[in-house]
Structure 1
Amino acid sequence: MHLERIRGVESKRLEGRKIVLGVTGSIAAVECVKLSRELARRGAEVFAVMSEAAQKIVHPYALEFATGNRVVTEITGMIEHVNYLGKDGFADLYLIAPATANTISKIANGIDDTPVTTFATTALGAGKPVLIAPAMHAAMIENQTVKENIEKLKKMGVEFIEPKFAEEKAKFPDIEKICLYVERKLYSKEFLGKKVLVTAGPTYEQIDPVRFISNRSSGLMGKEIALELWRRGAEVVFVSSRDFGIDLPNFKEVHVWSVRDMLNAVLEEIKGCQLFVSSAAPSDFEVEMRDKKIKSAPELTLKLKEAPKIIKEIRKVYSGDIIGFKAETGLSDEELAKIAKERLEADKLAMVVANDVLERGMGTEETRVVVVTAKRTQWLEGRKSLVAQKIVEIYVEDLL
């Protein structure tokens, strides 16, 4: 079938998982074909159920194509709601996206007069996880009764995906954000109740008001590791010079500029952390900043001094696990692995991830790294999101 050509191409994080997608009569229902495909790209199998109002916006055939499964548009003698989401139902999660104010209020009060609400009543009664992504005008979600119904459902264990507020609307959340919520809900929970700190990206050492010294680091690897830890239940503090705009619960972004800014932020946030992932590429040097823009000249001499080493400074006040990153150039695999092992021992690290940035890695979507712990030396390569997943898996296997 056509769907099998895309299933799992993004990741295998939802492989084997069966998700029921409830679609209601919001104009955001037009996004559900794309949402179904994105969940499939992460390995999930999706089964759609639609209210009558939703069918006036998106034809069931569209979701049948997107999911590869028959779409439930009415409850029949096959008791679809029980077979899907009853105590012995085959589905792992019920995702209602988009959810209207009408649907939310009905579910909160036990009214099940549409296929979507009947599935919800069944899922809640059976203890199945329920995720809801509201989409409506802002005035509706700010209605006191709707707000009370949302709080009522939260107390019943329903999790809500925060909409985007713009143009007086509570807009459908980004599909990537919805997928992250689904992954966190169904993923392994090794870091549940744990606080972790991740640094990412370059730092900027100011020369004058308009110029600085920096490097080509994108911060992408650090971002992907932070998201992987979040998926696994962690409370994440993410310190970076890049603004990734990550809007997730239990995910705090701290923006910094210089290496000293980054060091101070880590010192401030490290308390209570079970893991520190130092994946940033902070500057090795500092320069005394000029107050005014330096005028053009045939030659210019800058006096650099060594910047503080973040891991060495943090080690003075933090005894927990640290994952360090090491960037080198022009080394053989054997030389790179040797340097990583030496760094592991010298800085008393739990793990070192090293790579040759001339080969690939800095500023690119893909990378090739060697991961060293006390128990293994392992090479990884591919998209940074998948390499990040494997790095966290190795930490779980070797050190948790």
Structure 2
Amino acid sequence: MSEKKRGFLGRLFGGKETPETQADPKPEAVSEEPSAETPPADDPSIDVEMEVRPAAALNAPPQPMQLDAAQGLGQSMSSMPSAAPLSEDILPTDVSLEAQSDPVIEPPVEPVSAAEKPKQSWFQRLKSGLSRSSASLTEGITSIFTKRKLDATMLEELEDILIQADLGVDTAMAITDRLSDGRYNKEISPEEVREILSEEVEKVLEPVAHPLNLDTGKQPHVVLMVGVNGTGKTTTIGKLSQKLRSEGKSVMLAAGDTFRAAAVEQLKIWGERTGAEVIARDTGADAAGLAFDAMKAAREQDVDILLIDTAGRLQNKAELMDELEKVIRVIKKHDPDAPHTVLLTLDATTGQNALNQVEIFGKVAGVTGLVMTKLDGTARGGILVAIAAKHGLPVHFIGVGEGVEDLEPFSAKDFASAIAGLA
């Protein structure tokens, strides 16, 4: 068989390819030694000469094919039935049909105007993010307080629902006590219960709703970010960096999570986005040494804010917590008052475990404020209320999504209204 590469039609009918239909002028090398996969060239069963017709003639009546009598086949193929016309989708790309059907034109997609998709306000995003938590509470309240008179059994059922939502025992009891006052043996609507729920939650959260104040006269103002794996420390640092840069402050980032190359790269990307310098080292480098270098660089460059990332660590791993203490000791060598702010990121989906994290990190790192993330991923967003009631630490930011606009200063009233499902 010829060593020239066969075209599509040649392969389809099993014949040799003519020079007019050669698709590739550079033939592939063919082994001269016959094998089981490559029949020898003198094999009569495959050496059939065949005419390859232009694409325009494909729909014409078939002409008798001339066979090489020397191949021993000894018969004409002119009596073979006509093949069905080939459709365009099986033709080689360099062959076109003379007569083509009208192309199918897809209708253009109508662009959605800004008026049709208005940007959501922060409260709308918060309410949407807390929808799972509020839905759980609303459904439970509705099932209890529909066309029934208030009694002790109803209050116990409500208390169970509030505790299951991680609002905490104290808050749950405060709500049920408020409901029982003067309402026994009277009907009470689910809407009225939700109003009381919102008011009582706001009472607990109002004392801890404090904006993050970094204008303390310290330069640089050192912010240390701590928390367990997966709570969003690195992402929160990036979002804070963007917010601070938009306020006109100079920011430096320290990639102290030296155990994860991905965390270092992520912080570098945030640095590029926000125009903040990033101090980083190789994966596995000493985190305390990096913090020391970052403190020195921030002082030399008169940076306003230094945000230091740390490796995620479980609060019950003593050796990892010891390393965090070492980082803090090194920072204090530059400034005895630093870090001036220690933010603990908490993942709302962890529920009651977040209470334990606040306690342990508070003892080791001296946590000064909280950032609650991933409130949009849980039906137990009430854990923030329990944390506020037990520890009383300032809550600076809450997050309900991945975007920069989804991390906002904490508002007790907005949170209480959203979790109670109020407009």
**TM-score, structure 2 normalization:** 0.31
Please identify which structure carries the higher strand content. Answer: 1
The structure number with the bigger radius of gyration is 2
Higher normalized contact order (CA 8 Å, seq sep 6+, divided by chain length): 2
Please identify which structure carries the higher helix content. Answer: 2
